[in-house]
Structure 1
Amino acid sequence: MIGGGGGVLRRSSAAFLWALPALLAVSSLLFAYRLVLQAAAERAEQVLVSDPQVQSLLRRLSAAAAEPRRRPPLFRLPRAVSPADDDDDGGDDLRRRNGGFNASSPLHNAGMVRVRVRVREDDVPEGGLRLAYLMAVFSAGYAAATAAFLVLYSCAVGVVFLAVAEFLLGRRRRAAARTLYEGSRLGIRRVLGFVFLRWAARDAAAQLLYAAVLSEALSRRAMVKLLVRAKAVPFLQTAAPLTQWAGGDERGMRWFLLAWGLLERAAPPALGFVCWAAAAGGARRRGRAEVLREGLRRAAAMGERGLLLRQAEMLLCWNATRRVLAAAAGPAVAAAAQAVAEVFFLVVWLLCYLDQRAGDARHAFGSRHLEDSIRPFSH
């Protein structure tokens, strides 16, 4: 039976157990990916905040970027530099080295006052090359992480769709390796573009919230760490990595998590329904825009039921349950359980989507349609 009957959670549990080996393999892949991502983010933080050449150049870039925003007065008298002029990361080396004169003053620029500025050997050139090299490495790593996530999540959606469809159609259980292979083909061919849309929307939201709420962190080190963490959030199920290190800006962190939690209660189910519409073959029969509209419309039709279901998912997959599991069995077990719960709720949302399709009098979706949607991948 495609839609209705017995409650979505009970049917989801039955489908999950029926295809348990394949779905546990998907959970393991998601778990391994996020372990690697967290280790890479921590390594990036360590390099950015501990490399003295990078920090020195970042101070100079910050000072140069701030200078155009301050319009200098017509005349400015040189003054001695006091310890109060130093920032929390070491101060402005340039003003200390030039004997107290401001190198950007009109008198200096006109050549009326000439001061020899001594720079440590290779400080700027090697720092600039070092920063350029690190940025190239981080950019390449971020591109690889994005591509891996898009492929992995598309495959996960395809495997879940194929496994649940065969369960509903009463097929014989196939080998897990076969389900993984055929389901991955389905996901790559039909869902990849919509998974990219989901990731892009979360990435844009994370960066906007970072700029609006967390950009006033107390120090440059805090800003660098938070930026690295914020860039990792769109790949994850929750914003937990940000809570692991707040950088002393607890108030900003609370606002970020509040705003992110409100967005996460509505956006992922809607974009998830779009992915299920694409997995069902909608993009082949209609345009991508029509698939997008259908997914959003069916997610909106869930109404209060969808919000309650999303609240239950966040309760099991977000920070509260993870903290309890981490305290009882360790962070690795908590992360693994979170990955299993994430795949289970993929099954739940797929059945919700199929219920919506089956109950639509104008666009009835029965066993024959479900059979047609998986026929190219179920040999």
Structure 2
Amino acid sequence: MTRPPRLNLRTTAQIIKQSSVSFISNFYTFLFLSLLLLSFKTAVETGTLVVTAFIDRDPSLKSLLSRLDLAGKNVKSSSENFRFPSIGGGGGGNRRRNRPFLHLTRFGTLDDDFFSSEDDVFGFGRKSSSINSSFQVNLSNFFHSKLGFSELDKKQGIKFSLPEDVVKKNEQQQQQQQQQQEDEEEGEDRVQFAAKGIERDAAALFFLVGFLSAAYGWLILGYLVIQSCVLGVVFLVVANNHLGKESSFFGTILAGSQLGFRRLSGFILIRWAVRDALTQFLGLWFFGEIEDQYSFLKLFVRLKLMPFSITSPWIQGFEKQILDFQVVWFMLDTFVSFVFAVDSWVAIMNTGMSSKEVVKEGCYLISLMFNQAVVLKWFEAVLCGLSVRWVLSRIFGRLFGSFFQSVAEVYFMVVWLIYYFAARCKDINPDGRRFGRRDLQNFIHRLR
């Protein structure tokens, strides 16, 4: 009969050795968990590529982005190029001028039906049937031949000719009135076209935001469920291994998933929120000056998905900003993960603690074996980081690199759990006792 593993480990080598033994002895269970993480990461990265490809190829989305002008660089020019016509005596721009109610027009002779052209007289915009430079008044019934008018004058009437400058002025006024009417009609068409464009853009924007929000909500839910289940199963497997208990594969998966989802859901949401806030802050710091709408949107999508899967927001044309972002983000994310290294196991073992108390207890346990914790975090940062994944992807393919990273993540879950047991064994309880196998056994017994 094999002797159960020790809990009170002191050195980094002992922790790594015990973690490797536990991992190998339950290899198939941990392999299943690794495949579960791999499937989630693959789905996240595939969805990211699909969304970014859609942004590049969809012409309607490009038109929408150009109208929205996320960068704000065309606000001034667009406001200068397109102005709505104002009514009355408003401000600048192309004003809509009101025509006077009465204005001078040209009309034909009285013999051409004077009263049929009253619309022209009062300036309602109708053109006369004939445009003449003079008008004729027949006074044959008024003047008598004794006044010196001939019979020809009495029959044909007396002609009065308008000056040439008056005729030209009247023609210019009619052309200006016609041009103003065309401008008003064109302005109304622009307003209607702009209103229809705003409606189409609003519908397209609503659909895009709704689709991305729904997909992001399902992504958060999937991340919460998978992380809770994986951590719960890892805890139950390692605890049973230390107690020398055996259980079926499906029984362990079911019980561990229930334990993790019941005890770790809130803590995982807090950890995700911290990483998301950190990522968005760094993204605003390094990419806030980008004016290209398409690149900005693709970077935004990548940054929102980084807390779920370690993937670089690689967009061509911004290599310098992306490299700086990756270096700073890797350092800060490593520090945040170091603070939260054992908090998952603290949350499982202590149901009555608040989130603040869980973080405080985790930092205290790390301080008890600080040197060992720093070395373990350094190993984790190297094996689970982008550099090793990039090298393995270049040699064996992208899928193998992602698979190795998933296996390494599950392995270091085991490492930090054994570190947690070792730190608890080093700590002295208020009643003077140390954490031991009996405490772990009592906890497993209470779960049933």
Which of 340, 347, 351 aligns to 1:283? It is 351
- Partners of 1:103 and 1:151 in 2: CA distance: 57
In the other structure, the counterpart of 1:365 is: 435
In the other structure, the counterpart of 1:37 is: 44
SS in 2 for 1:7: helix
Contact 1:57 1:124 in 2 (8 A): no
- Partners of 1:103 and 1:46 in 2: CA distance: 40
Structure 2 gaps, min length 5: 1-5, 98-182
Query: What is the deviation of 1:216?
Result: 2.2
Which of 418, 431, 436 aligns to 1:351? It is 418
Which of 226, 245, 257 aligns to 1:152? It is 226
How big is each residue's C-alpha offset from its partner over 1:150-191, in whole Å with a ceiling of 9 and x where there is no partner? 11101111111111111111223x222111111111101111
Query: What is the deviation of 1:204?
Result: 0.5
How big is each residue's C-alpha offset from its partner over 1:240-290, in whole Å with a ceiling of 9 and x where there is no partner? 332xx233112211221121111122211322311110112x123x44432
In the other structure, the counterpart of 1:88 is: none
Letter in 2 for 1:290: E
Query: What is the deviation of 1:223?
Result: 0.8
Which of 326, 336, 342 aligns to 2:409? It is 342
Instruction: State whether structure 2 residue 17 is matched by structure 1 residue 10.
Output: yes
Bigger mean CA deviation after superposition, 15-24 or 27-36: 15-24
SS in 1 for 2:428: coil
Contact 1:49 1:224 in 2 (8 A): no
- Partners of 2:376 and 2:383 in 1: CA distance: 11
RMSD over equivalenced CA pairs, Å: 2.8
Instruction: State whether structure 2 residue 309 is matched by structure 1 residue 241.
Output: no
Instruction: State whether structure 2 residue 258 is matched by structure 1 residue 185.
Output: yes
In the other structure, the counterpart of 1:27 is: 34
Which of 249, 253, 257 aligns to 2:326? It is 257
Query: What is the deviation of 1:55?
Result: 2.4
- Partners of 1:66 and 1:111 in 2: CA distance: 29
In the other structure, the counterpart of 1:194 is: 267
Contact 1:217 1:247 in 2 (8 A): no
Give the paired residue count.
Answer: 346
1:47–1:376 Cα change, 3 Å: farther
Bigger mean CA deviation after superposition, 299-308 or 2-11: 299-308
TM-score (norm 1): 0.83
- Partners of 2:371 and 2:91 in 1: CA distance: 65
1:194–1:169 Cα change, 3 Å: same
In the other structure, the counterpart of 1:215 is: 288
The alignment-based identity, stated in percent, is 29
Letter in 1 for 2:93: H
Which of 48, 55, 79 aligns to 1:48? It is 55
- Partners of 1:39 and 1:296 in 2: CA distance: 36
TM-score (norm 2): 0.71
1:276–1:110 Cα change, 3 Å: farther
- Partners of 2:197 and 2:380 in 1: CA distance: 51
Structure 1 gaps, min length 5: 71-84, 86-91
- Partners of 2:394 and 2:408 in 1: CA distance: 18
How big is each residue's C-alpha offset from its partner over 1:137-158, in whole Å with a ceiling of 9 and x where there is no partner? 1100000000110111011111
1:46–1:67 Cα change, 3 Å: closer
- Partners of 2:85 and 2:238 in 1: CA distance: 69
Contact 1:3 1:351 in 2 (8 A): no
Correspondence list, 1:53-92, <5 A:
53-62=60-69
How big is each residue's C-alpha offset from its partner over 1:3-58, in whole Å with a ceiling of 9 and x where there is no partner? 20661111000111122121111111110011111111122222234333332232
1:248–1:300 Cα change, 3 Å: farther
SS in 2 for 1:266: helix
Letter in 2 for 1:46: A
- Partners of 2:47 and 2:85 in 1: CA distance: 40
Correspondence list, 1:300-319, <5 A:
300-319=367-386
